[in-house]
Structure 1
Amino acid sequence: MSSNPAEKIEKPKLPKRIPRCLDKGQIESLLLHLDCYSWFNDLEAKRNKAIIRTFLYTGVRLNELLKLKTTSINFEASEIIIYEGKGSKDRIIPIHPDLMLYLKAYQDVKKIPTEYFFSSIRSDKPLTENNLYRIIKKIRSKTKFHFSPHQLRHTFGKLSIEGNLNPFKLQRIMGHSSIETTQIYVYVSDNNLKESFQKINFG
C-alpha cells in the first residue's frame, strides 16, 4: 500500500476553454475611444464612461449591471451591492477609487432620480440589453477589435489575479459558486509566464 502523501492531492483541473481577455494595449485603446467619442450629450457621455468602467473594474455580469438600482451603490462605504446575482445570491463588490470618480460624475449630472442607476438619457426607464450593445457597437467601430461585457468580466478576473488578489476573495467578488471557476484566471495569468521568464537576466 502506497504511503506517498502526494498521491492524495487532487490535481487541479485544466479549464475546458481559456477565456479571452483584453491586453493592456487594448484596454488603453478602449478607454481612449470611449472617452473621446462624440456622445449625444454630457449625460450620455458620463453614463457610458461609467458603464464600461463598471464592467472593467468590478467584473459584474451584464444582467447584474442592468439591474443595478440607485440604492445598490453605497458611495459612503465605497461598495456595490449585487442583489440576487447568479444563483440568487447577494454579494458586495468594493468600488475602486478610479471607478468611484466616474460613478459620482454620472450621478451628479442626472437631473431626475431613477430607480435603476443606469437609465435612459431621455426618461427614468432602465437601460436595456439592446441599448447596451448599441453603446458597445459604437465603441467597437473605433477600436477595430471585438470586445463584449463578458470579455471585460474576464479581463477583470485576470488583472485581479495579476494584482495578487487572493483567489478566494476574487471568487466572492465575482460571484462564482466554485473556486475552480475562479482558478481559470490563474491559468490565463500563467500564459504570461513565458514572456516574464524570458526577461530574467541570469548573467
Structure 2
Amino acid sequence: MNDRDLPDGLERALGRYLQHLTVERGLSRNTLTSYRRDLSRYLAFLAGHRHVADPRDIATDDVRDFVQYLARPTDDGGCGLSTRSVARGVVSVRGLHKFWLLEGLTDQDPADSVTPPSAGERLPKALPVETVTRILEAPDRSTPGGLRDAALLEFLYSTGARISEAVGVDRDDLSADFDQPSGPAAQGDEPGPGGVARLKGKGGKERLVPVGSYAREAISSYVVRTRPLFASKGRGTPALFLNARGGRLTRQGAWLVLKQAAERANVVDELSPHTLRHSFATHLIEGGADIRVVQELLGHSSLTTTQIYTKVTADTLREVFLTSHPRALG
C-alpha cells in the first residue's frame, strides 16, 4: 500500500505535513523523498494491520507496534531494518504527530513517549591518505570519461562535498578566479588567488568552499577537453559534471564512478557514498585544522555532528600508541 491507497483522512493529513516540510522548512527533494517513504510505510501499516482510517484513531500502542514491525525480521512478517533505519523511522513519525497536534488534526500525541532504539555510536569510515591517492589516480585520464571521473573524484575529496552536492554544481558555481594558481604570489609572501566553489547543501543552504590545486587542474582539463564533447550530445545544461549523453551526472552515476575507481585501485575497504567526505574531514583534523573550520567546510549546522571526527582521530592516536610505545601494554 502506498500513500495513494491510504484512507482519505490519513492521505490528506500526510499531505499537509509534507507540504509543511516543503514550504515552511524548505527541505531538499532527497530528504522529502525519505520522509514520504518512511511515513507512507507507517500509515500503510496502521491502515492495513490496525485498520486505522483517521489520525485521531492512532494510539501509543499503534506506534510501538509499528516500531516492532520495522525491527522484526522479514520472515516473521516485519521489515528487518537496521537499528539506525528504525531510529530514523521513529524520528519521522514523531515529527508527523507533533505537527498534527499543533495543527489541531489530533488532540493528543501518541508518539510522544515512543523513543528511537539506541543505534550506538557509528564512527565514519575514513581511508588513509595513501589509499585516497590511489583512488584519485585510478581513472584513465587519456579518455574523455576518465578525465571526467578524475575531476569529480578530486572535487569530492578537495571540498568534502556530499555526492548530491557535487553533481548539483553548475559551471557558474565556480568562482571567476577558479583557473588561477594558488600559493605564494610571484612578488612577496602574500598567498595568490585560488578558486572556490558554491555548494547547495541540505535545506537549500549554500556555502562557499575552497578547491585545491589538484582538483582545479583536473576540472580545468575536463572542462576544456571532455565537457564540450559530452555537452554536444545533450540539450544544454548548466551542470558542471555531465554524463556521456550530455545530461547532468546523477548521484547514482557519481557513486558508480567512485566504486569503479576503487576497484581499479585494488581498494578492498568498505566504501560508502560519503567515503571521500569522511576522509576529507578526518585528514583535515589530523593535520591540525580547527574543528569549527571543518564544520563550516562540511556544512554541518551543529558542531556536535562534526565532533565525531575528533573521536576517529583519538582512536587512531590510541592505536598508534598501543602498538608503538614499549610500555603501553603489559
**TM-based fold match above 0.5:** yes
User: Residue 60 of structure 1: SS of its match in structure 2?
Assistant: coil
Q: Which has the larger radius of gyration?
A: 2
2: CA distance between counterparts of 1:55 and 1:155? 10
Closer, same or farther: CA 195–130 of 1 in aligned 2, 3 Å: closer
Contact persistence 2:126–2:279 (CA under 8 A): yes
Give the TM-score taking structure 1 as reference length: 0.79
The answer to whether residue 308 in structure 2 is matched with residue 181 in structure 1 is: no
User: Residue 259 of structure 2: SS of its match in structure 1?
Assistant: helix
What residue identity is the alignment partner of 1:166?
D
- CA distances 1:27-69 after superposition (whole Å, capped 9, x unpaired): 233234x23x4x7x63211110011111111111111111111
- CA distances 1:47-106 after superposition (whole Å, capped 9, x unpaired): 1001111111111111111111110111505101113x1132111101112211111111
The equivalences for 1:67-78 within 5 A come to 67-76=168-177, 77-78=194-195
Aligned to 1:22: 127
1: CA distance between counterparts of 2:319 and 2:251? 38
Specify which of 270, 279, 283 is matched with residue 155 of structure 1: 279
Aligned length: 182
Aligned to 1:82: 199
Aligned to 1:44: 145
Alignment gaps of 5+ in structure 2: 1-119, 178-193
The answer to whether residue 308 in structure 2 is matched with residue 191 in structure 1 is: no
What residue identity is the alignment partner of 2:125?
R
What residue identity is the alignment partner of 2:220?
K
1: CA distance between counterparts of 2:258 and 2:213? 24
User: Residue 271 of structure 2: SS of its match in structure 1?
Assistant: coil
2: CA distance between counterparts of 1:58 and 1:87? 19
2: CA distance between counterparts of 1:185 and 1:95? 21
2: CA distance between counterparts of 1:95 and 1:140? 22
Deviation at 1:130, TM superposition (A): 2.8
Query: After TM superposition, which residue ranges in structure 1, 4 or more long, deviate above 6 angstroms?
Result: none
1: CA distance between counterparts of 2:326 and 2:218? 41
1: CA distance between counterparts of 2:245 and 2:308? 40
Give the TM-score taking structure 2 as reference length: 0.50
Specify which of 220, 230, 242 is matched with residue 119 of structure 1: 242
The answer to whether residue 294 in structure 2 is matched with residue 134 in structure 1 is: no
1: CA distance between counterparts of 2:170 and 2:244? 16
Higher-RCO chain (CA-CA 8 Å, sequence separation at least 6): 1
Deviation at 1:140, TM superposition (A): 3.4
